[in-house]
Amino acid sequence: MSTTATTPTTTPRRSNAVLAAFSGPCLPLAAFGVALPVTLPEFYATHVGLELGVVAAVFMIVRLIDITFDPFIGWGMDRTKTRFGRYRPWLVVATPILMLSALMMFVVVQPGAGAVYLFAWLLVLYLGFSIGTLGQLGWASVLAPQYDERSRVFGWWQVFNIIGVILILILPTVVIQLKIGTYADGVRIMGWAILIALPLTIGLAMVVVPEPVNAGAAPHGGPRAYLDLFKRPAVRKLLFADVLLGVAPGITGSLLFFFFGQIKGYGHTEASLFMLLYFVAGLVGAPFWAWLATRIGKDRALAVASLVFAVFYVGATLVPGGSFTLTAVVMFIAGLPYAAGLFLLRAMMADVGDEVRLETGVDRTGLMFSILSATTKIGHVVALIPYLVLQVVGFKAVPPVGGNSAMSLLTLQILFILLPGLLLAGAAWVLRAYPLTPERHDAIRLALEVRDRESAAT
């Protein structure tokens, strides 16, 4: 005799300690995440000595190559079946790759290293980074299947991401302020910190955090299955929003030191502090956006956050330079909505994964996160286009005597202020009429649980 459920079954609520251990690997992964669009391009252009256009071209080419890795990694994860879980073994594989990449990209590199060196090790770094981030995202999606509880898991994930960003941004500034060394020394110490943190945090997560396994047939369909996902309105909206929300902060990160140095008149250390406050604000604001998502739904909360982000960001960048305190305050305010897109989009993609599993009987979680990862990287590639635009108008990363021309500085301001604001507002527009509501997801979870129970019974 079977019973009919009317609401999805509540799985055990993960403790804060378990979620903290699970989120620990975000610390070194987030350090890579901020170094790739912000620290490394500027470091290789100014301290290693590569031309700005060469740096932009290498990063763009490598990222485009890396995008092709993601569907194969996602497909491989969906087919993985071990007694340790589906996603955890991939994080183990990523660890030595990322450790070697940190050593070569941050620590060993010397002034005069060429474009081939940058290309080769950047490609290795991106491979390890893709494996590590996709493995952790897939793991997060199965830790808590409920709509609101999933927001909590990804909220913890994002908080640790921001903590990782903050800690890694502090290092070069601390090195300079304590007179331990130069900014370049600080970047090398950054590499050592990542290298040490990787095995410690990932090892702890492996020991403490379980990995539930979704029921479902083995993936099938090959490239066709990948393309079929794009037919879903929810997937398309998430991907378009992810591109827009990825390009906007990507532009901010890649041009921040140039903007605050040559437009606002602040030094490298002051600009780093502004960025630090921006990310601290994201940490402060993250719980609010997670709370709002439980009240009005993830899609509406993300649309509100995107509009607020656009207004706060443009307002902050228009504040005149000259007052460190005022600039610090407005940059903190601008960063309050920063985290919303990063964790809500991923929680929403996990929800769509449940819908796909219900309709197809196949768990394609890894493949779906690989698509989201690909669009994020497309956003990072597009975010480097301003480097090429600035080179066309004659902008110099290290300005000549007399400084850059008025045209090049105006171009810098348009790229840094106006373009990100328009992209953020565009993300809110894309999310209109998002189809996967909280009520719809509850019905999906209920149907999945009924089907899984019937499968277990037979």
Over 50: is that where the pLDDT of 4 sits? no
Reply yes or no on domain 16-211+225-457 having CATH 3.30.365.10: no
Higher pLDDT, residue 127 or 147: 127
**The pLDDT value given to residue 92:** 93
Average pLDDT over residues 116-138: 91
Task: Give percent of the chain with pLDDT exceeding 90.
Answer: 22
* Residues whose CB is less than 8 angstroms from the CB of residue 24 and which lie 6 or more positions away in sequence, other chains included: 160, 201, 202, 204, 205
Average pLDDT over residues 369-388: 75
Let me know: does 314 contact 399? Beta carbons within 8 Å. no
Residue 341: both structure tokens together: 């897109």
**The pLDDT value given to residue 199:** 95
Rounded Cα distance between 411 and 390, Å, is: 7
- Angle, helices 268-296/233-262, rounded to nearest 10 degrees: 160
pTM of the entire structure? 0.72
Over 50: is that where the pLDDT of 1 sits? no
Instruction: Quote the radius of gyration of the chain (alpha carbons, Å).
Output: 22
**The pLDDT value given to residue 12:** 65
- The values of phi and psi at residue 405, to 5°, are -70, 160
Domain boundaries, the chain: 16-211+225-457
The model's confidence at residue 47, banded by pLDDT at 50, 70 and 90, is confident
**The pLDDT value given to residue 2:** 37
Over 50: is that where the pLDDT of 105 sits? yes
Residue that has been written with the tokens 């999606």 in this structure: 141
Nearest one of 369, 366, 373 to 213, comparing CA atoms = 366
Over 80: is that where the pLDDT of 384 sits? no
**The pLDDT value given to residue 9:** 53
- The values of phi and psi at residue 84, to 5°, are -90, -5
Over 60: is that where the pLDDT of 34 sits? yes
Higher pLDDT, residue 454 or 447: 447
Chain segment 403-445, per-residue pLDDT in tens: 788 888 899 899 989 999 999 999 999 998 898 888 888 888 8
Over 70: is that where the pLDDT of 179 sits? yes
**The pLDDT value given to residue 374:** 75
Over 60: is that where the pLDDT of 10 sits? no
**The pLDDT value given to residue 5:** 46
